[in-house]
Structure 1
Amino acid sequence: MSATATDNARGGLRPAAGALAAAAARREAVHAWLLLLPALVLLLSFTHWPTLSTFWDSLHATGRGGQTGAWAGLENYAVMVDDPVFWQAVRNNLWFAAATIPLSMGLALLMALWVNEKLAGRAFLRMAYFTPTVLPMIAVANIWLFFYTPQYGLLEQIRGAVGLGAHNWLGDPSTALACVTLVAVWKEAGFFMIFYLAALQTLNPSLKEAAAIEGASRWYFFRRVQWPLLMPTTLFVLVNAVINAFRLVDHIFILTRGGPDNASTLLLYHLYEVGFKFWDTGYAAAITVVLVVVLAGVALLQFFVLDKKVHYQ
């Protein structure tokens, strides 16, 4: 075959090979989208569509009989701005978050460091720390309700044994929110401990051996080696802790119902009361939109700003 004929044959093969490659790429793309389709349908059905529907409802008055109410524009948001109970719930939630997030994360890290060591009864300790996590939130609230019961509760028995007077822990505005905070920390610390423990077990044991050879103390080894390597896990736990701090409603419903005098009302409980007790769905939708926007903004800040600073170099 002449050189010209060979070149012509190669030129004819190039378009055919390109077409086959393009067809293979299309098949791979279709295959990938088909694999993603179930998760995408669930995400759109139970996350994005309800969010858009809630935003639409927040722009309308409360309807009747399942019908959309009259157009209200930003009136529900104006009512929210003028609502003193809403701002009380915001303040309570900020205090609640400021207490539960560092306390639960710090306690979880301490427990993980402890049960990661070789000690007798380590399996029992891990189970004991994790047990509050698997208990239903309603059950946890009822357990602590017994602790806080005036005159008969465990705390009252202890106070009576040391000669102190009775105190209504959940009925006092100065202690009601703190009592709910303590329950939340007790419930969440064991859950966060699992993530820290898993991260600690992935660290190379040679790091600890090298630190011991160099004569580094445990505190120095934790501060300069373990803590920087745990920062990605800390970011993940922080995101979950922030979300949990703004979605608590079960404990409030059982322990205090927002009282006394809204001293323990949190945002989600206030939303529940507005939507299902007073049946003002338009106003409840407006509160939901604000809550979703704030949490989404915090999550984006954590992932796209803090995430760049947590990886150990």
Structure 2
Amino acid sequence: MNRTLNTVYAWLLLLPAMVLLVAFTHYPALATLWHSFFSTPKGRRPAVFVGLENYQVMLQDPVFWRALVNNLWFALGTVPVAVGIALLMALWVNRGLAGRGFLRMSYFTPTVLPMVAVANIWLFFYTPQYGLLAQALQLFGWSGPNWLGNRETALPALMIVSVWKEAGFFMIFYLAALQGVSPSLREAAMLEGASRWQYFRRVLWPLLMPTTLFVLINALINAFRLIDHVVVMTHGGPDNASTLLLFYIYQVGFSFWDTAYAATLTVVLLVVLGVIAAIKFRWLDKRTHYQ
């Protein structure tokens, strides 16, 4: 009897979280998948079942492929860099430095700024002739390019903004993990004659793997859900050079009012995130040691 009551009590404790998870995660995902098999309702014409027609249209859509490739390059260019810088900053501010509280605050400040505010700040930096970067280059007699108006530099410019915004956020997790490592481990490693690099590689890095796994998954999700910076800074241009997948979904759903096709693109986005996350868990979880 007591075991049954404990089970019921445990499920009641889980119920609020389960309701929110189903209502705002699982149901929307399944509803999106269902709507992707129908046409877009227009006026008095209801949606009709079209099967895989939306997916066939998507496979022939050059803008979709461009957005997908852009997003993959964006993730590849921002995730490792942001995580690496976050780890370096955490190692730096975890030391007994004078003014380390100010350093921590400085590194974390970009994280608390609104996304639109960050986009506008960097929009000023990238402005040709009058922006901060252009003014700095003019001191050396150089004329900077139109960073956001050039096909070759638009996407890398967005990558820099994303890394600047997110590195401080990931630093907090690494800093918390570093402060949970016992100082006796470093002392023991030093007594054994290990160098700082050997201590980091053989002792500290394996202990940070749970945090690294968590940070990598979050960085990946952030790379595929970025839309604010694109809307404010480039609008996907020039010539779709900076169009990311979520921005294209936004365009299709709210500018072109093709909700069925937007649902199809969303399903692809969910599948891409799921596959990459599964690969990361499969690869990293074997190398992760939980204390």
- Residues 1:304 and 1:25: Cα distance change in structure 2 (over 3 Å): farther
Q: Paired residue for 2:207?
A: 229
Shift of 1:29: 1.6
- Residues 1:179 and 1:272: Cα distance change in structure 2 (over 3 Å): same
* Matching of residue 310 in structure 1 with residue 288 in structure 2: yes
The CA distance in 1 between the partners of 2:107 and 2:51, in whole Å, is 49
Q: Paired residue for 2:273?
A: 295
The CA distance in 1 between the partners of 2:286 and 2:119, in whole Å, is 38
Shift of 1:301: 3.0
Any residues of structure 2 matched to 1:1-313 within 5 Å, and which? 23-64=1-42, 69-311=47-289
- Residues 1:149 and 1:66: Cα distance change in structure 2 (over 3 Å): farther
Shift of 1:217: 1.9
Residue pair 1:228, 1:312 contacting (<8 A) in 2 also: no
Residue pair 1:60, 1:282 contacting (<8 A) in 2 also: yes
- In structure 1, give the amino acid aligned to 2:221: I
Residue pair 2:149, 2:237 contacting (<8 A) in 1 also: yes
The CA distance in 2 between the partners of 1:296 and 1:68, in whole Å, is 32
Residue pair 2:133, 2:144 contacting (<8 A) in 1 also: no
Task: State the TM-score, normalized to the length of structure 2.
Answer: 0.96
Residue pair 1:57, 1:68 contacting (<8 A) in 2 also: no
Shift of 1:67: 7.9
Q: Paired residue for 1:16?
A: none
- In structure 1, give the amino acid aligned to 2:277: A
| Percentage of matched positions with identical amino acids | 65
- In structure 1, give the amino acid aligned to 2:138: G
Shift of 1:284: 0.4
Secondary structure, aligned partner of 1:265: coil
The C-alpha deviation readout for 1:93-129, integer Å capped at 9, x for no partner, is 1111111011000000000000000000100000000
Shift of 1:36: 1.0
- In structure 2, give the amino acid aligned to 1:264: S
- In structure 1, give the amino acid aligned to 2:164: W
Question: Radius of gyration: which is bigger?
Answer: 1
Number of aligned pairs?
Answer: 291
- Residues 1:205 and 1:65: Cα distance change in structure 2 (over 3 Å): farther
The CA distance in 2 between the partners of 1:135 and 1:68, in whole Å, is 43
- In structure 1, give the amino acid aligned to 2:162: A
The CA distance in 1 between the partners of 2:215 and 2:44, in whole Å, is 39
- In structure 2, give the amino acid aligned to 1:231: M
Shift of 1:234: 0.7
The CA distance in 1 between the partners of 2:2 and 2:44, in whole Å, is 49
The C-alpha deviation readout for 1:212-255, integer Å capped at 9, x for no partner, is 22332211211111111111111111111111111110110011
The C-alpha deviation readout for 1:12-66, integer Å capped at 9, x for no partner, is xxxxxxxxxxx22221121111111111111111111111111111001111359
The CA distance in 2 between the partners of 1:70 and 1:54, in whole Å, is 15
Moved more, 276-285 or 222-231: 222-231
Shift of 1:293: 1.6
The CA distance in 2 between the partners of 1:169 and 1:273, in whole Å, is 23
Secondary structure, aligned partner of 1:216: coil
Shift of 1:305: 4.4
Shift of 1:199: 0.7
Moved more, 165-174 or 78-87: 165-174
- In structure 2, give the amino acid aligned to 1:73: G
- In structure 1, give the amino acid aligned to 2:229: H
Task: State the TM-score, normalized to the length of structure 1.
Answer: 0.90
Question: What is the RMSD computed on CA atoms of the aligned residues?
Answer: 1.5
- In structure 2, give the amino acid aligned to 1:288: T
- In structure 2, give the amino acid aligned to 1:269: F
